[in-house]
Structure 1
Amino acid sequence: MTPVELSRTVLHAVRRAVDAGELSVAVPTRAVVAPPGPGGCGDYATGIALQLARPAGQPPFRVAEVLRPYLVGTDGITDVVLTGPGFLNISLDRAASDVGLVAEILRRGDRYGHADQPDGRVVQLHCPHDLRAVVVAEASARLLRSQGALVRVSAEGFEDAWTSVLGVTVDAVGHAPAELPVNVRPVPAHGSADPMSLGRDAGRWALLHPAAGDRPRIGDEHLVQREGNPLFRVRYAHARARAAARNAAGLGFTAAPGPVAERDLLAALADHPRVLAAAADHRAPDRLARHLVTVADAALPFLPTVLPRGGEKPSAAHRARLALAEAVGAVLAGGLALLGIDAPEHL
């Protein structure tokens, strides 16, 4: 069971409880599932009971008690434990969950973690006449659209060179009505720094990777082709994943999801939909940038193990590792695309 499927399962449990008359609430459109926090247990936790407590007119722990029987015994779920004020901590059948996760990523490709359809939200992003603000607003718009929102980006001012060098665009330029204040205002780059001198990919990364409240560092370190450069690690991991698929084809075997023991890497891939949703909700593309670094750092030690060595013949284990490598490539390519950064096949 993937995190997306688990979220749907939680919503289905709420719907069943409502249909049975045990809860009187409107079924929400989304249930957030994430790795358990301090004091939690299992593979994932959800605070859906805390979200529903007030409209249900019941304490959160009681709502969690109502929902627990509808989750226990569901295919792929091995246990549900209540902790804290009402968190549902869910343990999964890990082997089946891992195989399902990789299969889901391969099915969705670089759209893994995207919404299936529009969610009805209409969002207006408005930023000052500042390059970093415009880049952050545009990347935030990409993230919001990936989650089903309709988004329009406007800026107080805009320079044509920003499009020709960094590929950034907006929908409108000029002062907005009083009822639309500036709502995207990250700390600008230092006045003497020129992000455009880095080119499109490194320039965008330099502006997007730091949190909005941090002043970005604009320097040649973003261009260095070494592992000390986070952008290089992300793009290198993507290129290695693509190379594994090409080389496997040359050896005559293809990917097939199966059991693998890469816990940290699987956890990072499973967390991708949650990161996309949080980055969109908070207008924080830096969360996605840092998540891609996490995925790359977990993938780089694994990728050299994908292909057979020496006289080895391709086995089911190799096909499972290849499937995981292809999943890594899809997640990194999709994430970089949302940041407006190229994901090269060769590096």
Structure 2
Amino acid sequence: MTPEELSTAVSLCLDASLDAGELSLAEDASAPAVRIERPKNREHGDWATNIALQLSKRVGRNPREVAQVLADRIFGIDGVASVDIAGPGFLNIVLDAAAAGSLAQRILEEGESFGRSEALAGTRINLEFVSANPTGPIHLGGTRWAAVGDSLARILQATGAEVTREYYFNDHGTQIDRFARSLLASAKGEPAPEDGYGGDYIGEIAERVLAEHPDALAAEDPQEVFRSHGVELMFAEIKRSLHEFGVDFDVYFHENSLFEAGSVERLLGHLRETGALYEADGAWWLRSTDHGDDKDRVVIKSDGNAAYIAGDIAYIEDKMRRGADLAIYMLGADHHGYVARLKAAAAAIGGDADAVEVMIGQMVNLVKDGKPVRMSKRAGTVVTLEDLVEAVGVDAARYSLTRFSVDSNIDVDLDLLTKRSNENPVFYVQYAHARTCAVARNARDAGVVRSAESFSAELLDGPADEELLAALGQFTGVLAEASGFREPHRVARYLETLAGAYHRWYDSCRVAPKGEEPVTDTHRTRLALNDAVTQVIANGLRLLGVSAPERM
């Protein structure tokens, strides 16, 4: 029985108590949601809930009295062995061994679908992440978003959402001009412009443009040749790097297309007509304060050129027109001011501000030998995705970037991530999976073959069995929380907890018989529990885009 199933069962007990008049809600009061949690002290039970304390004021009765009413009904839930009232009214619930152990068989039956839900079924989510300027290789900040964004997409899909992974290709603006001038200078053998881009990659791309277009320098507008072909080559390289990192996008949206198609001009004309834009000081302003922004934003500058937000507004409209119920933006640490303005932009075009979510990611630092790594072999001034992957591999890179909340700055220790020890979190989890596979191979070599008929859940009654089953039971809830809070790191931290419970179980429970010992249903049932762990770790690692090796 998972905590979600137990929570549903307790909720039904609460409803039954209210229907029978055993408890009566005050006027205008509603019953709170039942939350089931693991008690800090396992001696207090398998699961606990504070629902009686939450209900107390709403029904006008002492919390322990409320707890007693609920305890009598909870005790009748199939699989509940005992219910105790503790302290001011906490309910501690103990499941019988069969009810707890049956989870292992359920995991094996559901396989890759275990943990998944339909909570977001029918919701179409546009998830935009990375969106690095096509003027150089992806730096560490973009690499973090690649790992977190792709994992979040997988998690949202696992909870029923229809997700479109989108990359916003910033090919309109001054940064492209600077990139083109840098390529042209390199092709001429000149130093990079003062405001240009450096690094070996500029020379490499300039050489490739010349190889494909030998007459580029003699063209009527050589800068335009380097602009169009250089950006194309750079973006192809970005897409290749991301693909090798396990990240692919459904849509590569070109910012410039909004201007070329007239979408920006058309939308701004519409906003003028509706009064969402007003003119002041020679510029056109969005009434974004009407929608919660701290100040109105300039959309058309006094020189007649569109401000950056003009494209943002047209882009939001385009996403909504394509059917997005929710647009999630994953932006860098320097984009805090975009939260309110993007929501205001959505509201200004007649949408819902809550249909826009903005996630802000913090900085990533690489550390080696206890010192920061700041220089790239190829990009010069920044460390890139390729640098990180070359140092530690795709699995370690993705896992290490996803296991922290995006709200926190992180230091990625290259020395730690190359260690084959329990200090290395990705090794710790992957080794747990490989160990379960080794245990299964050894057990089958010893003649242990599991089946539904040989599975006896009540045999999983040891402390290590109970701890491991409790950890397995939390996967569904962790996945739901990771989806709801947009926090993939919850899955990584859960896998480390599960791996720890498994390693302890491995040290105290045998799956294969010793010597001439006969094979029993205890061995077969423990093999089922072992294989259930294999499945859940694999399911979790898949959500993070990390492999689950069978041998290490």
Is 1:296 paired with 2:499? yes
1:228 aligned to which of 417, 423, 435:
423
Distance in 1 (CA, whole Å) between partners of 2:123 and 2:87 is 32
Whether the aligned pair in 1 keeps the contact of 2:6 and 2:36 (CA below 8 Å) is yes
Name the CA shift for 1:141/1:23 in 2 (closer, same or farther; >3 Å).
farther
Aligned pair count reads 344
Distance in 1 (CA, whole Å) between partners of 2:499 and 2:59 is 45
Q: Which residue of 2 aligns with 1:44?
A: 47
1:202 aligned to which of 388, 391, 396:
396
1:135 aligned to which of 131, 136, 147:
147
Moved more, 4-13 or 333-342: 4-13
Q: Which residue of 1 aligns with 2:136?
A: none
Distance in 1 (CA, whole Å) between partners of 2:468 and 2:41 is 21
Distance in 2 (CA, whole Å) between partners of 1:23 and 1:149 is 38
Alpha-carbon displacement from aligned partner over 1:98-150 (angstroms, at most 9, x marks no partner): 32222222222233222267555554444454221232122122222223334
Q: Which residue of 2 aligns with 1:215?
A: 410
Moved more, 331-340 or 263-272: 263-272
CA displacement at 1:166 relative to structure 2: 1.0
| Cα root mean square deviation, aligned | 3.4
SS of match in other structure, 1:300: helix
CA displacement at 1:214 relative to structure 2: 3.3
SS of match in other structure, 1:184: strand
Superposition pairs of residues 1-347 of structure 1, within 5 angstroms: 1-17=1-17, 19-20=19-20, 31-36=34-39, 41-48=44-51, 61=63, 67-82=70-85, 87-93=90-96, 95-115=97-117, 119-127=121-129, 129=132, 130-157=142-169, 159-173=238-252, 175=312, 176-177=315-316, 178-179=342-343, 183-190=358-365, 191-192=382-383, 194-197=387-390, 198-212=392-406, 213-217=408-412, 219-255=414-450, 256-258=455-457, 259-260=459-460, 261=462, 262=464, 263-303=466-506, 305-347=510-552
Moved more, 173-182 or 202-211: 173-182
CA displacement at 1:277 relative to structure 2: 1.9
Name the CA shift for 1:42/1:227 in 2 (closer, same or farther; >3 Å).
closer
Name the CA shift for 1:84/1:243 in 2 (closer, same or farther; >3 Å).
same
SS of match in other structure, 2:398: helix
AA aligned to 1:42 is G
SS of match in other structure, 1:34: coil
CA displacement at 1:289 relative to structure 2: 0.9
Whether the aligned pair in 1 keeps the contact of 2:364 and 2:409 (CA below 8 Å) is no
CA displacement at 1:334 relative to structure 2: 0.7
Q: Which residue of 1 aligns with 2:203?
A: none
With structure 2 as the length reference, what TM-score do the two structures score?
Answer: 0.54
Whether the aligned pair in 2 keeps the contact of 1:127 and 1:182 (CA below 8 Å) is no
Structure 2: tracts of 5 or more residues without a match: 133-141, 170-234, 254-311, 317-341, 347-355, 366-381
Moved more, 58-67 or 145-154: 58-67
AA aligned to 2:545 is G
Distance in 1 (CA, whole Å) between partners of 2:76 and 2:480 is 28
Alpha-carbon displacement from aligned partner over 1:19-59 (angstroms, at most 9, x marks no partner): 4465678889x8542202589942212355677789x7768
Name the CA shift for 1:138/1:60 in 2 (closer, same or farther; >3 Å).
farther
CA displacement at 1:90 relative to structure 2: 2.1
AA aligned to 1:219 is L
SS of match in other structure, 1:98: helix
Whether the aligned pair in 2 keeps the contact of 1:206 and 1:218 (CA below 8 Å) is no
Distance in 2 (CA, whole Å) between partners of 1:117 and 1:314 is 42
Distance in 2 (CA, whole Å) between partners of 1:101 and 1:45 is 18
Alpha-carbon displacement from aligned partner over 1:258-289 (angstroms, at most 9, x marks no partner): 42321432332222222222222222221211
Name the CA shift for 1:109/1:286 in 2 (closer, same or farther; >3 Å).
same
CA displacement at 1:18 relative to structure 2: 5.2
Distance in 1 (CA, whole Å) between partners of 2:128 and 2:68 is 43
CA displacement at 1:9 relative to structure 2: 1.1
Whether the aligned pair in 1 keeps the contact of 2:120 and 2:160 (CA below 8 Å) is yes
CA displacement at 1:153 relative to structure 2: 3.9
Moved more, 227-236 or 124-133: 124-133
Please say which structure displays the higher CA radius of gyration: 2
Distance in 2 (CA, whole Å) between partners of 1:233 and 1:88 is 35
SS of match in other structure, 1:114: coil
Structure 1: tracts of 5 or more residues without a match: none
Whether the aligned pair in 2 keeps the contact of 1:49 and 1:64 (CA below 8 Å) is yes
AA aligned to 1:336 is L
Distance in 2 (CA, whole Å) between partners of 1:205 and 1:82 is 41
Alpha-carbon displacement from aligned partner over 1:229-252 (angstroms, at most 9, x marks no partner): 221121121112122223333333
AA aligned to 2:400 is A
AA aligned to 2:5 is E
Distance in 2 (CA, whole Å) between partners of 1:280 and 1:71 is 29
CA displacement at 1:5 relative to structure 2: 2.7
Identical columns (%):
35
Whether the aligned pair in 2 keeps the contact of 1:127 and 1:183 (CA below 8 Å) is no
Alpha-carbon displacement from aligned partner over 1:148-182 (angstroms, at most 9, x marks no partner): 33444444458313432211134445554233656
Whether the aligned pair in 2 keeps the contact of 1:71 and 1:80 (CA below 8 Å) is yes
Moved more, 205-214 or 14-23: 14-23
